[in-house]
Amino acid sequence: MEAKLLHQSLSPFMPTRHHPRCRRTNKPLRSPVLAVLTRPTKKIVEIAEKTTTTTRPEEDAIVTKYEDNWFDLMATNHLSRSVQAAIGIRNKKSGYEGLVEAASAAYRSFNPTEQRDLVISALDRAFPKPILNMIRTLLPRSKFTREYFAAFTTVFFSWLVGKCEVRESELDGRREKNVVHIKKCRFLEETNCVGMCLNLCKMPCQTFIKDSLGVPVNMVPNFDDMSCQMVFGQDPPAISDDPAFKQPCIKLCKAKQKHSATCTN
């Protein structure tokens, strides 16, 4: 009996004064490492970049805001009514929105040749022939006339085409300020359509200016940045040779909504 008690007192599993027994707790073990920052894998980065690109559509591009004054509105409404009268289709919109609506109606209802003829007819309605004939008589073809028309366009037609400035070019071996650089064409930006630009603006305006004012002009649109050059004194190329007519329509075309060259015909 005494031996048994002695054995129990000397057992390593029994608590003693000098070696207290460690109490087990239910607390989870904590790692000293709080967090590890690692570089994402190349695959994840590529997926993120692809997602960023595809979720940002072209519609997010900055759209130019215009604050038309009384003269701008008067001129726009006058031209819009002239176009509506020429095509025989009316709309109730006013300002530039009404002009674009009239041009869109012409584009939907007539073929390219008819569109050009109708715009020329609308320009004849908008600008009285006696005034145009007087200008043609007083300003024959010359460097002064070309530079005058370029400067006149930047001052009095920015409501139609947007912000523009006069630039120089070389004509007949000499430099002259005969170019109107349109930074971002208002009409092209509003329509987003190559066909409407060519058949309702470029072609009829080239013909109208040469026939009514006696000065040739070549309009060179840039469909990448929506800018345009009006070069007074330069004859435009034939349609078959004009690079503009080989351009497929803009992806955001509001007319045919089709990215193809058929938008121009």
* pTM for this model (two decimals): 0.73
pLDDT higher for 257 or 203? 203
* HEC assignment per residue over the chain: CHHHHHHHHCCCCCCCCCCCCCCCCCCCCCCCCCCCCCCCCHHHHHHHHHHHHHCCCHHHCCCCCCCCCHHHHHHHHHHHHHHHHHHCCCCCCCHHHHHHHHHHHHHHHCCHHHHHHHHHHHHHHHCCHHHHHHHHHHCCCCHHHHHHHHHHHHHHCHHHHCCEEEEEEEECCEEEEEEEEECCCHHHHHHCCHHHHHHHHHHHHHHHHHHHHCCCEEEEEECCCCEEEEEECCCCCCHHHCHHHHCCCCCCCCCCCCCCHHHHC
**pLDDT above 50 for 264:** yes
Tokens standing for 36?
């590890």
CA distances from 178 to 40, 134, 158, 202 (A): 56, 21, 16, 17
Average pLDDT over residues 84-110: 96
Given this model, what pLDDT does residue 249 score?
77
Say if residues 218 and 236 touch (Cβ distance below 8 Å). yes
Average pLDDT over residues 34-48: 43
Average pLDDT over residues 201-208: 97
Average pLDDT over residues 176-201: 96
Given this model, what pLDDT does residue 255 score?
66
CB atoms within 10 A of CB 36: 5
177-199 burial, b for 16+ CB within 10 Å, e for fewer? bbbbbbebbbbbebbbbbbbbbb
Residue 202, class by beta-carbon neighbours within 10 Å (0-12 exposed, 13-18 middle, 19+ buried)?
buried
Closest by CA to 164, choosing from 228, 235, 79, 219, is 228
Residues in the chain: 265
**pLDDT above 80 for 55:** no
Average pLDDT over residues 92-120: 96
Which fold is adopted by the domain 70-245? Answer: Muramoyl-pentapeptide Carboxypeptidase; domain 2 (3.30.1380)
- 163-186 tens-digit pLDDT: 999 999 999 889 999 999 999 999
CB atoms within 10 A of CB 17: 5
Average pLDDT over residues 42-67: 49
Given this model, what pLDDT does residue 26 score?
54
For residues 213 and 253, give the distance between their C-alpha atoms in angstroms, rounded to a whole number.
33
**pLDDT above 70 for 18:** no
Task: Write down the domain spans for the chain.
Answer: 70-245
